[in-house]
Chain A
Amino acid sequence: MTVLAVAQRRAGTAFQRQGALAVLAVVVLIAFGAFPNFRSLDNAATILVAAAPPMLIALGMTFVIITGGIDLSVGSLYVLGGVLAAWASQYGFVAAIAVPLAVCGAIGLLNGALIAYTGMAPFIVTLAALLGARGLMRAVSDEGSTTYIVQNDAFHTLGTGSLLGIGNQVWLVAIIVLLGMVVLSRTRFGNSVYAVGGSEDAAALMGVAVRRTRIGVYVLSGLLAGLAGTINAAKLGSGVTVLGAGMELDAIAAVVIGGTLLTGGAGTIAGTVAGVLLLGVIQNLINQVGDLNSNWQQVISGAFLALVVVAQTYLVRLRRT
């Protein structure tokens, strides 16, 4: 292999891993020059606070996708978690967090157990969970007619307060993302996640607990989606029952833009963070351009997604040859 080919291959790997970060840097630099309002600290804080719930959902999705799975139920679990948190807040701070996590974690467990033990496709199992969790949310909220108001001041402060000028939620999410990085790259569970996604048979031969790993990632995904809904309820002060949140596909888009392969076995949390922030920055910029229809945001996000995944595919191919 020539020096040039090696260099080319390394560049390909680097772009696939850090491409979203590079694109994010370029977009932010351009925005700094072109939009005076983008430069303020307030605006940066706004972007980060808005990105907090999607970041948690995408973090869980990253684990799932690295195992070669997919979780379509997270949008419903996000809404369900928010409603449950607002409802449970009347019983105190701990209940407001524990109830949504328990229920969403249990649904994640059900997803994982069905996928691991019956061999049914993750796509279908979590599609059913999408419907079931939405039904549960409707049942809890009297068919969507009751909006629970958060009744615990400490819980409400978790969502609205700030520390050193940065929202509490951003700190919380930052800590969880760092924990996620450590778990994925430094623990036995993290290794198992990569091993199962790389080759299930090989992982089983190596003695990896394949089923337990599969169940683990769906529990994690359910918990994080529930937590995302919980902190959103804390911020808004109520459980919002907006239907068809569609956040599962946004999360998948962010994870894929961040360089995680849907075929499993490869991906990083840093990439996912960059992917979520990139989508957030695009949305923020479109809000800044006053005369741009906000629907352009979807169009541009879709185009970005197509561009990034096509580039990734070619780079992966380059690396393999």
Chain B
Amino acid sequence: MTTLALTTPRRADRLPKYGVYIAIAALVVYNAAFTPYFLTVSNLRIQLIQVAPIIIVALGMALVIGTEGIDLSVGAVMALAAALIPLYLGYGVIAAVLVSLLAGVAVGLINGALVAKVGLQPIVATLALFVGGRGLAVVISDGQLRDIRNADLIYLGSGDLLGIPVLVWTAALAILVVAFTVRRTVFGRRLLAIGGNRPAAELAGLPVQRVLITVYVLCAVLAAIAGLLSVGRIQSSDASSIGLLIELSAITAVVVGGTPLTGGRVRVLGTVAGAVLMQLVIATMIKNNLPPSTTEMVQAAIILVAVYAARERKTR
């Protein structure tokens, strides 16, 4: 039954598959030629550090979208994870990290149960926590911005390992884990089978509910990781601003990377490329002194072109 989701891509898929990489290459060449200081180590560092949290969140989003779902609550989860850090930092950095990851697990369980057990549409199920989650985070942190002085946490968010930011190592690890999960594990095949055709997956006896719940937990935990790393990066915890609107950036990265919203397929590297492309567009615009208004309109155009090229023609 899993073969259903593993049918080979048709030739029409090639352009969307490589379009995002071609766009990245074109932007890199353009910037290398015309943008001063673009190919400097410090600039590349900044770009990577900025895109890393989006990549981590987008990977979880890609898994959810692979099941024909969507998760609007990822920004709220980042805020919740961030709000809990200062409360538990007194017990050590490990305790604080564990608590914020547990918050991710809890949110994932709620989303997953609403989708898998109650049968809510994913957008509604995760909308509840989108609406309430950030409010809860602000209530927990009493609306205060807390400075973080814990050296270990700051190392996670803004330190270096072998000359490369820890944040980038973490994102790379997440990419490897998610790519392996999707391509090489039974869980990954089940995930794609459910997204491809849920009734068929149910008939085939796959543990649909368990897989769905796990997917939402994974997505929320990845968001929580992005949240606590962001706290370490900006060295403060502000529940009202951390992860704001990141759900839109993450969904954009996933769809620009060629993962269809209709489920059944997950493009892990495409998702990473989608996030990198959007980051490059922003960087290019800023460095060429183009205003945010132009940047947003260009982003809108890129989304439409990417999704138009990748759209699934109706077969039935």
Which A residues lie at the B interface, using CB under 8 A? Answer: 70, 114, 118-121, 123-125, 127-132, 134-139, 143, 244, 249-250, 252-253, 256, 262-263, 293, 295-303, 305-306, 309-310, 313-314, 317
Contact = CB atoms under 8 A, between A and B. Distances in A.
Contacts of B136: 295, 298-299, 302
Given A136-B293, A139-B291, A299-B139, 10 more contacts: A120-B308, A129-B300, A135-B296, A143-B292, A249-B130, A256-B127, A293-B139, A303-B132, A310-B114, A313-B119
Contact of B121 (A262, A296, A305): A262
Interface of B: 70, 72, 114, 118-121, 123-125, 127-136, 138-139, 142-143, 244-245, 248, 251-252, 255, 261-262, 291-297, 299-301, 303-304, 307-308, 311-314
A128 B304 contact: yes
Contact of A135 (B132, B245, B292): B292
Contacts of A119: 311-314
Nearest to A72: B248
B139 A296 contact: yes
Contacts of B130: 249, 302
A138 B296 CA distance: 9
A309 B128 contact: yes
Contacts of B133: 302
Contact of B143 (A134, A295, A313): A295
A-B pairs with the 9 shortest C-beta distances?
A302-B132, A298-B135, A135-B296, A138-B293, A132-B300, A306-B128, A135-B297, A139-B293, A302-B131
A303 B114 CA distance: 13
B244 A306 contact: no
B124 A256 contact: yes
Given A123-B261, A124-B255, A305 B127 contact: yes
A138 B299 CA distance: 14
Given A132-B296, A139-B294, A299 B121 contact: no
Main secondary structure of the interface of B (DSSP, over half): helix
Given A249-B130, A253-B131, A131 B139 contact: no
Contacts of B308: 118, 120
B293 A298 contact: no
Given A121-B307, A295-B135, A244 B245 contact: yes
Nearest to A140: B293
Nearest to B140: A295
A62 to B, nearest CB: 15
A131 B278 CA distance: 13
A252 B127 contact: yes
Contacts of A303: 128, 132
